[in-house]
């Protein structure tokens, strides 16, 4: 352990330097993407912090956007205070992030203490209800701007700060899993009764996970408020909770790296679809018949894949079958389009291509649940050990 | 603490579920270093008895004393902290985790890594975790599972899973260990090894053992004293030989003579 402090200090300095360098590089090379990258890193924080609750501790919580909202409104309200407003921007953002995290954590504790006695579906209902209550109450509170929303001043966009926050969130979760303390969280997920018999304070563990998760969501919300300079209940719709949940499930519940990666991908897809515009800046339109045709074809391909998964066992044959099933999507899609165009309504009806993102989420989720219910990475982490031969327990690794 | 004081004492422990009395006024005592058997036909209330001792259920009446202290109705994790640990009849391992991680969760009870230290991966948390990992490996050796340390516990055979449960329970460093049908699903050779392991747990680790088992040869060969339950009531108590020839016990197992 002698080399601990030099290694730790070096890695912290390295990370900070890297975040600043990335910040400068993006500003120089792609300033248009600066804000989007901040939002992407915030979604990574939201997904990784929900993964701590859902994936690692196994508590089905689906109201995560509410904690981000609490953090955002905390920052929005407190930054109006002259004592804070006079601060230089970096300090202001840091203080607001901290306060947002604290208030969200407090809410997490108040909600978590009674409701974490519930399990599975029941907890999901409570957290869903909590999320809606927060949104509706805000919507009806004049002093918070009601449904019109609330301008947040000053507008502070610091990519380096959100990146640092993201690294901190990922590092803390990963550190936790490297010690026996983290194993008790996994014990709660795996079997509460056995956990209790081994002396694990199950309720306490759940509340701690919930509070840490809420704190990070609150921090992300506070940064979001200052990045966008405007927040309203519509900034945090119910879909947001579901999108975060989709990120966690897609990445593999319990896999930190999986959640982070899925968050980036699922954030990028709708943003990319939004950029698909013609010369006038209008979104491309898609024919409803074609859309439905392709959707049906994809569903058939998913069903075929499921069949292949259970019935074909030779590796080469399996790959060929998969390729065939998914290549067939294109001709099948056009075939269905032709059939659907027999209806004049479907032939003329069209909609903006950016709406597709809802369909993307739905299709991805259906395909995933059927073909790989444990998520893309399952409980595994992506890392160097993928290149080693032996499976590595979660607890192995250095002190860095 | 005086030598004469029993480590565990059930004093007319009773539990009723609605109209059903699952355990009715059961009393017995375990002395330090005993290997004590709890037997009876199916549905006799043996596992319910374990659940009472480990705090899964709160006794409706009567009391349970552990090292002289009443423990009836304490939370299961508090009872584990006092020094009682158990295995489960229907194996309850942390299935997605490896063997050694299962044991480490048991071991964390005596050497807690503080939360903040864990989050920041402080040097002492890492050292503590390493130490627990080593301790857990020793326990896996004790139950002959050292070669399976990194195997996912759900993927192991039934007999290995039972042994892993014993290692995990031992990791909490209990004074008293409760084994719920440890030999179920084992072949004769595995049973022989288990017999030896349980004796080692008592002789080398100085634990007291309370065991539920259906295999009569196993129980009679292992236990020094046995209590027999039938329909929630205690029908006999004594050394194996006396139990084997007790007409009430024979009747409970085989039915009334025709």
What is the C-alpha to C-alpha distance for residues A100 and A68, in angstroms, rounded to an integer? 8
- CB neighbour list of residue B167: distance below 8 Å, 6 or more residues apart: B99, B102, B103, B106, B136, B139, B140, B142, B143, B145
Q: Could you report the per-residue pLDDT of A114-160, keeping only the tens digit for each?
A: 888 887 788 999 999 999 999 999 999 999 988 999 999 889 999 99
B82 → chain A, closest CA residue: A199
Give the pLDDT band of residue A395 (cuts 50, 70, 90).
very low
> A10 and chain B: CB distance < 8 Å anywhere?
no
Q: Which of B75, B111, B172 sits opposite A198 (nearest CB)?
A: B172
Q: Which residues of A touch B56 (CB under 8 A)?
A: 193
HEC profile of B222-246: HCCEEEEEECCEEEEEECHHHHHCC
What is the architecture of the domain spanning A4-275?
Answer: Orthogonal Bundle (1.10)
| Chain B residues with CB-CB distance to A180 below 8 A | 104-105, 107-108, 111-113, 118, 128-129, 132
Average pLDDT, integer, range B131-142? 93
Distance from the A201 Cα atom to the nearest Cα atom in chain B, whole angstroms: 6
Q: Do residue B126 and residue A180 have CB atoms under 8 angstroms apart? A: no
pLDDT at A239: 87
Instruction: Report the C-alpha gap between B228 and B238 in whole angstroms.
Output: 9
Candidates 3.30.70.2860, 3.50.50.60, 3.40.50.300, 3.40.50.800; CATH matching B91-173 = 3.40.50.300
Distance CA A214, CA A300 (A): 39
Question: Which residue from B76, B80, B127 is facing A1, i.e. has the nearest CB?
Answer: B127
pLDDT of residue A398: 34
Query: Is A181 in Cβ contact with B92 (below 8 Å)?
Result: no
Q: How far is CA B172 from the centre of its chain?
A: 12
* Mean pLDDT of all residues belonging to chain A: 88
> Is A327's Cβ below 8 Å from some Cβ in B?
no
CB contact under 8 A, B101 and A395: yes
**What mean pLDDT is predicted for residues B229-242?**
91
- Judging contacts by C-beta atoms under 8 Å, the chain B residues touching residue A208 are 115
Counting residues of chain A whose pLDDT is more than 90, the rounded percentage is 55
The answer to whether residue A194 neighbours chain B at the CB level (below 8 Å) is: yes
For position B223, what pLDDT does the model report? 93
Comparing CA positions, the residue from A134, A147, A136, A128 lying closest to residue A242 is A128
CA nearest neighbour of B174 among B104, B101, B110, B93: B110
Whether A391 shows a pLDDT value over 60: the answer reads no
Least-confidence region, from A157-166, B33-42, B120-129, B196-205: B120-129
Q: What is the pLDDT of residue B185?
A: 83
User: Phi first, then psi: what are they for A287, rounded to 5°?
Assistant: -75, 135
pLDDT above 80 (res A26)? yes
- Distance (Å, whole) CA B5 – CA B31: 7
Residue B43 pLDDT level (bands cut at 50, 70, 90): confident
Cβ contacts of A1 on chain B, cutoff 8 Å: 123, 126-127
Indicate whether A183 pLDDT > 90.
Answer: yes
Question: Which residue in B86, B98, B112 is closest to A197 by CB distance?
Answer: B86
Residue A1: closest C-alpha in chain B: B123
- Give the pLDDT of residue A174: 92
Considering the domain B1-83+177-258 in this protein, what is its CATH number? 3.40.50.300
Q: What is the mean pLDDT of chain B?
A: 91
Average pLDDT over residues A315-330: 89
Contact between A180 and B106 using a beta-carbon 8 Å cutoff: no
Start-end ranges of CATH 1.10.3470 in chain A? 4-275
Of the listed ranges A230-239, A349-358, B149-158, B237-246, the one predicted with least confidence:
A349-358
* Candidates B94, B166, B177, partner chain A, best to mutate (most A CBs within 10 A): B94
B193 exposed, middle or buried (CB, 10 Å; 0-12, 13-18, 19+)? middle
Do the Cβ atoms of A112 and A215 come closer than 8 Å?
A: no
A160: tokens are 């380096």
Q: With cut-offs at 50, 70 and 90, classify the pLDDT of residue B3.
A: low
Checking if the pLDDT of A165 tops 90, the result is yes
DSSP helix/strand/coil, B14 = strand
B171's CB contacts (< 8 A; 6+ apart) are A198, B103, B104, B105, B106, B107, B109, B135, B136, B139
Do A179 and B117 count as a contact with CB atoms less than 8 A apart? yes
For range B16-30, the mean pLDDT: 91
Which one of B95, B100, B105 has the shortest CB-CB distance to A393? B100
Q: Is A385 an 8 Å CB contact of chain B?
A: no
Report residue A366's pLDDT band, with 50, 70 and 90 as the boundaries: confident
CB atoms within 10 A of CB A81: 9
How many other C-beta atoms are found inside a 10 Å radius of the C-beta of residue A314? 9
CA distance, residue B139 to nearest chain A CA (Å)? 15
The answer to whether B98 and B149 are in contact (CB under 8 A) is yes
Average pLDDT over residues A281-286: 78
Contact B121 A178 (CB under 8 A): yes
What pLDDT is attached to residue A385?
63
Q: How many helices (H) and strands (E) does chain A have?
A: 17, 4
d(CA A99, CA B8): 51
Residue of B nearest to A183 (CA): B105
Query: Comparing A96-100, A213-217, A286-290, B33-37, which segment has the lowest mean pLDDT?
Result: A286-290
| CB contact A266 to B (< 8 Å) | no
- Give B184: exposed, middle or buried? Use CB within 10 Å, 0-12, 13-18, 19+: middle
Compute the nearest-CA separation of B86 from chain A (Å): 7
Q: How many CB pairs under 8 A join A and B?
A: 140
Q: Report the residue from B92, B111, B118 with minimal CB separation from A191.
A: B92
pLDDT for B195 beyond 90: yes
DSSP conformational letter for B152: B
Q: What pLDDT shows up at residue A396?
A: 39
**Do the beta carbons of residue B39 and residue B214 sit within 8 Å?**
yes
Which among B77, B92, B111 has the least Cβ separation from residue A200?
B77
Residues B220 and B240: beta-carbon distance below 8 Å: yes
Taking an 8 Å cut-off on Cβ atoms, the answer to whether B105 and A201 are in contact is: no
Residue A263 has phi, psi (to 5 degrees) of: -60, -45
Mean pLDDT is lowest, of A114-118, A171-175, A276-280, B174-178, for: A276-280
pLDDT at residue number A393? 46
B4: burial class by Cβ within 10 Å (0-12, 13-18, 19+)? exposed
Q: How far apart are CA A145 and CA B244, in angstroms?
A: 81
Tell me chain B's radius of gyration from C-alpha atoms: 19
What is the reported pTM? 0.88
Among all residues of chain A, which has the CA nearest to that of B95?
Answer: A190
More reliable by pLDDT, A275 or B155: B155
CB contacts, 8 Å: B93 with chain A: 190-191, 194
């Amino acid at each position: 352990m002698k080399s601990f402090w030099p290694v730790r200090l070096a890695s912290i300095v390295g990370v900070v330097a890297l975040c600043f360098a990335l910040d400068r590089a993006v500003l120089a090379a792609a300033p248009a993407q600066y804000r989007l990258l901040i939002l992407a890193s915030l979604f990574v924080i939201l997904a990784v912090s929900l993964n701590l609750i859902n994936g690692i501790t196994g508590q089905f919580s689906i109201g995560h956007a509410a904690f981000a909202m609490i953090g955002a409104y905390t920052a929005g309200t407190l930054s109006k205070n002259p004592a804070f407003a006079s601060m230089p921007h970096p300090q202001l953002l840091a203080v607001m992030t901290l306060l947002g995290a604290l208030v969200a954590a407090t809410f997490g504790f108040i909600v978590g203490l009674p409701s974490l006695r519930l399990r599975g579906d029941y907890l999901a209902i409570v957290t869903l209800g909590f999320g809606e209550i927060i949104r509706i109450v805000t919507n009806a509170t004049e002093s918070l701007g009601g449904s019109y929303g609330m301008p947040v001043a000053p507008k502070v966009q610091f990519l380096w700060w959100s990146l640092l926050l993201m690294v901190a969130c990922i590092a803390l979760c990963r550190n936790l899993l490297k010690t026996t303390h983290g194993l008790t969280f996994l014990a709660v997920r795996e079997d509460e009764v056995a956990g209790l018999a081994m002396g694990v304070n199950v309720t306490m563990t759940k509340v701690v996970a919930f509070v840490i998760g809420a704190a990070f969501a609150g921090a992300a919300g506070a940064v979001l408020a200052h990045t966008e300079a405007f927040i309203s209940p519509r900034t945090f719709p119910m879909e947001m909770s579901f999108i975060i949940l989709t990120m966690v499930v897609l990445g593999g519940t319990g896999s930190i790296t999986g959640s982070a990666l899925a968050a980036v991908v699922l954030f990028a897809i709708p943003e990319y679809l939004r950029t698909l515009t013609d010369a006038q800046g209008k979104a491309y339109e898609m024919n409803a018949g074609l859309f439905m045709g392709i959707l049906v074809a994809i569903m058939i391909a998913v069903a075929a894949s499921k069949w292949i998964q259970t019935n074909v066992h030779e590796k080469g044959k399996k790959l060929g079958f998969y390729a065939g099933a998914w290549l067939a999507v294109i001709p099948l899609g056009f075939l269905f389009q032709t059939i659907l165009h027999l209806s004049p309504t479907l032939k003329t009806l069209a909609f903006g291509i950016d709406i597709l993102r809802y369909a993307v989420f739905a299709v991805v989720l259906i395909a995933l649940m059927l073909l790989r219910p444990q998520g893309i990475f399952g409980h595994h982490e992506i890392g160097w050990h993928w290149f080693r031969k032996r499976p590595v327990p979660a607890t192995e690794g250095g002190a860095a | 603490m005086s030598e004469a004081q029993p480590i565990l004492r059930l004093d007319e422990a009773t539990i009723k579920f609605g109209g059903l009395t699952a355990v009715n006024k059961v009393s017995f005592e375990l002395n330090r270093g005993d290997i004590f058997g709890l037997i009876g036909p199916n549905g006799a209330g043996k596992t319910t008895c374990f659940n009472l001792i480990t705090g899964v259920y709160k006794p409706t009446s009567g009391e349970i004393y552990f090292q002289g202290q009443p423990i009836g109705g304490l939370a299961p994790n508090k009872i584990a902290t006092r020094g009682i640990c158990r295995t489960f009849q229907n194996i309850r391992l942390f299935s997605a985790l490896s063997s050694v991680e299962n044991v480490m969760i048991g071991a964390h009870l005596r050497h807690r890594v503080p939360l903040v230290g864990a989050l920041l991966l402080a040097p002492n948390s890492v050292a503590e975790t390493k130490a627990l990992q080593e301790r857990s490996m020793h326990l896996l050796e004790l139950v002959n599972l050292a070669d399976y340390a990194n195997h996912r516990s759900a993927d192991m055979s039934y007999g290995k899973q039972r042994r892993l449960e014993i290692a995990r329970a031992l990791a909490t460093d209990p004074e008293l260990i409760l084994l719920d049908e440890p030999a179920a699903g084992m072949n004769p050779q595995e049973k022989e090894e288990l017999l030896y392991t349980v004796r080692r747990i008592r002789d080398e680790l100085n634990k007291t053992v309370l065991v539920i088992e259906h295999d009569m040869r196993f129980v009679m060969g292992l236990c020094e004293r046995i209590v027999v339950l039938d329909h929630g009531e205690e029908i006999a108590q004594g050394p194996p030989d006396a139990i084997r020839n007790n007409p009430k016990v024979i009747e409970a197992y085989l039915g009334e003579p025709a």
